[in-house]
Chain A
Amino acid sequence: MSNEIILEAQHLRKAFGGLVAVDDVSVRIKQYNMHAIIGPNGAGKTTLFNLLSGTMPPTDGKVFYKGEDITHLAPQRRAHLGIGRSFQITNIFANLTVLENIRLSAQAMGKDNFRLLKLADDFPSYVEKAAAVIEEVGLSGREYVLARNLAHGEKRKLELGIMLASDPELLLFDEPTAGMSSEQVPELIEIIKHVVKDNQRTAILVEHRMDMVMSISDVITVMSQGKLLAEGTPQEIAGNPLVQKAYLGDLYGELVCTKPENLLLVDNIQTYIGQFHILQGVTVEVPKNEITVLLGRNGAGKTTTLKSILGLTPPSQGKIIFKDMEIHGKRAFNIVNLGIGYVPEHRAIFRKLSVMENLKMAERKRGDLDKHADFIFELFPDLERLYKLPGNHLSGGQQQMLAVARALVPDNDLLLIDEPSEGLAPILIQQMMEAIRKLSQTTTVLLVEQNFIMASQLAKNFYIIDDGKTVTNGKMSELIHNEELIHEYLGASVRTVKQGDKA
């Protein structure tokens, strides 16, 4: 292996208003290496990826490719230098065939861009190139299928093919397995491995599935809170206490017990988003005055379940019963007004509105905020201090607190909380946990949480959702001892638990 450095980032920094997503990050990518960048949700991985690929300009810092400063080079110019990238979202021409998609990419890199009158088939070199690429990514036999008719996994392969057709030396992958079902992942990993290792290419892989990264990377960089936390071989990373802490946090707590009575019943709902059949039978019962948690991989359908309950993505079939009323088919604002508070993923606070206005927005009756202000500020003292500031001046953690506080403004019987620990520092996770525990004394909570430790400390009941279906459910106290179940359905969290035990 060569030791030559192909890509170097120096002191990269990216701030969005008050939120510093990437803070003074320097990375060196060696040639012919598979270099993974990992970190918990919200660590700034995707932002770093965008800075490296040129989709966003950095606030500060420089990027060098083979010693050349490319900081302000547009993505398409970088592509001509030999940097290819793939996205979290699939980017293909849906109405072209597989072959056309790949050939187009090969043509774009060639010098015949403007010979518009000549048929593409008249450039045999491109056709040959495309055929070779199709072979390489495992799409042989699917050349003449329209891209939109491909399965999701095949689309990811096609995307990889499009990237390869431009002859890149450096491949950038942003969560290549995002949204893939568990059976498809190993195949894609094999192909990526083959493409990079056997063909002397270099790759940067941004991923939050730790298990995937461990097996194929040469070097792993761990990010947390926008900063570089550690770098090393997979073995070194696995044993690094700092990394364990970032993924786990320091969490302690005891379980709360009360008598069960169902406040919410979700009965076998089916939900489509566009043409995608996201939920294919989710059943959840939420007992009164208890915390119930939905577990599962990214893209399993947890967030969609919450949105279906609220009527934001109305289910096409199934029943949802809240306080003995059928609420499916009603409009979201009506459902919410029955007494449901919602803390969405990615916070979704109103950035241009002040903290006070954000809280006022949630009022259902005049005076709701005054009534609950004391309780809210007791849970989150920060917010009282920031009362007049606009939302985009808050840090990520403060925004998350505001999102939770907003759900506490009106009188609610049920809170739906989506990933409250997302992108929070361990110390804040601790505070958030305390807050949720406190508010759960008066309110029922349905929680979605990736942080397994947090979920296990808080929740009484759990449901596991995989590929849009409820797989199993039970008491949290039973789940923490059932390693097989955790292994099978919670993917990345597996290591989390084991390392947590060791630590």
Chain B
Amino acid sequence: MNHEKRKQFITIVIFVAILAILIAVVWRTSGTTTFVRTALSGLTLGSLFFMVSAGLTLIFGLMHVLNFAHGSMFMLGAYIGWQFYTNPTFVFGIAPLIIAFATGLQFLTVIKPRLTQLNLSESLQNLLPRLAWVLVIILVVLAILNFDILGLANTAMVAVTTVTESNPLAELSPQEPLARFWLRPFLLLLGGFLAAVAVSKPGNKKEYVAAEHTTRNWLLIGGLIVATILLTVFREAWSEAILLMNGNLRFVLALFVATGFGLLCGMFIEVLLIRPLYTRSFFIVLMTLGISFVIKETIQFLWTPLAYKMVRPPLFAAPGKAETVADWLLNSNATLDIFGVTFPTYRLFIILLGFLMFIFITLLMTKTRLGMVIRAGVQDPEMVEALGINVRSMFTFVFALGIAMAALGGIGAAPFIPVQPLMGDQYQMQGFITVVIGGMGSYVGAFIGALTLGLARAFGDYYALKWSLSTAVAEASTVIIMVIVLLVKPSGLFGKKE
């Protein structure tokens, strides 16, 4: 009966056994100190790989979309988080604009049931959305006309090179006066509303959908409008308040901001760019590649191709070595003594973040109704839809979730690796290899694959150095592992057979 499970179990046992033997051999040959240090480095890398591959594998498993923009989203998360942490002027400068447009779009939920019921002639039905789109474009152009986005972006560009570290309390530069600025979010709100009108196909009675949760929708719109106004009026005050905040708290907020930004981006991309292409999977690959180029070029335009170093939050910054965890939490040391090894505390945080993310996904997939629906959707989306569940919005959510996880990985990695436009590409490549090793669509596989790859990289580097080989050996090791896994189990460690 349990044939499949047993087979899977045996694969894992064999895999773990091989790993254990390798680890034992390495331990004996390298000594405890080196081993612990290298293993911890490997886990750090593995954590980062997992944060990228978790989203990749979820998105592929459900929608069969190979998201080549994932690395760019990782990078975008790092930039947004870094900006927010170092000097939030940029984030608060553009937030009113984005939120305003999104608020306008949110009107879709309440105006669609009304607009579709209108009695309009056929020509008017065709004309109205087009007219609305033209107006949307005009409004958006008017709204961003003369907007000094480069000036905003430069506010946090105190550190111009990788080596110098910036002062987190950078000077606040003067902003466009509110008397002129308020027009921009207002125009964008109007633009978003008109876009909602265009999308809801006025007069098309076939599109009519019974209005549900109307009060909830109105409340949401009301809340968004209030948020827009607050963000617009107090944008400078917000930046200042955030900058005066405790650095650790600011970093936690930066994690949330980057994740939320990833969620929003993911939703926009899925709804506007990916959704029309589900029947043509090849075009999706091209589309995601294109998106990644656009994001990278935009970032280069805003912040130049230079690499920046994000300062570590204070909890991981104080000089000196902590002897125990309690010691570290008390004195905020940069390094911690683990089995006689001096190890940077921030890397421990990255490991923790990766494991927390894995626990989060596991709980989401096994304990919640949404996870259940996703698991069912992986097998048969049509049947899920036939049970009365909106599969399209589930796709949107999973895509956004995957992107958000990559963005969180990005900001998590930012204090550890240089922040630069191409920082995501390497992690995307490793992410794809991880997904292939773990089995397309399996988040457990991605987790185990990521840790394996991270360890392989770390130990590869160690031995390359020890035997004076090229560091290419370490880079090749991940690919070699992939080849071996694919030869033994073509569908990956946890993959389904075709």
User: B-contacting residues of A (Cβ < 8 Å)?
Assistant: 15, 17-18, 310, 312, 326, 328-334, 336-337, 342, 344, 348, 350-353, 357, 360-362, 364, 392-393, 406, 410
Nearest-neighbour CB distance to chain B for A21, whole angstroms, equals 14
Q: Is the beta-carbon distance between B380 and A348 smaller than 8 angstroms?
A: yes
B386 within 8 A of A: yes
| Bound CA span A18–B1, Å | 5
B209 engages A330 (CB within 8 Å) = yes
B375 contacts chain A at the CB level, 8 A cutoff? yes
- B213 within 8 Å of A by Cβ? no
Q: In the complex, what distance in Å separates the CA atom of A362 from the CA atom of B388?
A: 8
The answer to whether B391 touches A333, judged by C-beta atoms less than 8 angstroms apart, is yes
Decide: A360 and B369 in contact? CB cutoff 8 A.
Answer: yes
A351 to B496, CA, bound (A): 12
Q: Are B386 and A17 in contact (CB under 8 A)?
A: no
Choice from B205, B207, B208, B386 contacting A332 with Cβ under 8 Å: B386
CA–CA, A360 and B372, complex, Å: 9
Nearest B residue (CB) for A393:
B1
List B367-414 residues whose CB lies under 8 Å from chain A. Answer: 369, 372-373, 375-376, 378-380, 382-392
- Residues of B close to A15: CB separation below 8 A: 3
List the B side residues contacting A332 at CB < 8 Å.
382, 385-386
State the CA gap A392–B8 with chains docked (Å): 15
Whether A17 touches B4, Cβ cut-off 8 Å, given contacts A336-B387, A410-B388, is yes
Q: Is the CB of B388 within 8 A of A336?
A: yes
C-alpha gap A310/B1 in the complex (Å): 35
Cα distance A353–B3 when bound, in Å? 17
Complex Cα distance, B205 from A350, in Å, reads: 34
Residues of chain B with a CB closer than 8 A to A333's CB = 385, 388-391
Q: A337-B388, A350-B383 are in contact. List 18 more A-B contacts (CB 8 A).
A: A17-B4, A18-B1, A310-B386, A312-B385, A328-B206, A332-B382, A332-B385, A333-B385, A333-B390, A336-B386, A336-B387, A342-B387, A350-B379, A352-B375, A352-B378, A361-B387, A361-B389, A392-B4
8 Å CB contacts to A: which residues of B200-239?
205-210
A357 to B377, alpha carbons, bound, how many Å? 13
Is A342 touching B386 in the complex (CB atoms < 8 A)?
yes
Residues of B within 8 A of A336 (CB): 385-388
Q: Least Cβ distance of A396 to chain B in Å? A: 14
C-alpha gap A224/B373 in the complex (Å)? 35
Residues of the B chain whose Cβ atoms lie less than 8 Å from the Cβ of A357 = 372, 376
Q: Which residues of B contact A353 (CB under 8 A)?
A: 372, 375-376
Q: How far is the CA of A199 from the CA of B345 in the complex (A)?
A: 81
* Chain A positions within 8 Å of B383 at CB level: 344, 348, 350
B382 touches A312 (CB 8 A): yes
Point out the residues of chain A lying under 8 angstroms from B390, CB to CB.
Answer: 331, 333
Contact of B372 among A326, A328, A361 (CB under 8 A): A361
Chain A CB within 10 Å — which of B379, B383, B387 has the most? Answer: B387
With A15-B3, A17-B4, A334-B209 already in contact, the answer to whether A350 and B375 are too (CB < 8 A) is yes
Among B206, B376, B392, the residue within 8 A (CB) of A350 is B376
Contact yes or no, A351 B385, CB < 8 A: no
Q: In the assembled complex, how far is the CB of residue B387 from the closest CB belonging to chain A, in whole angstroms?
A: 5
Q: Which residue of A lies closest to B385 (CB)?
A: A332
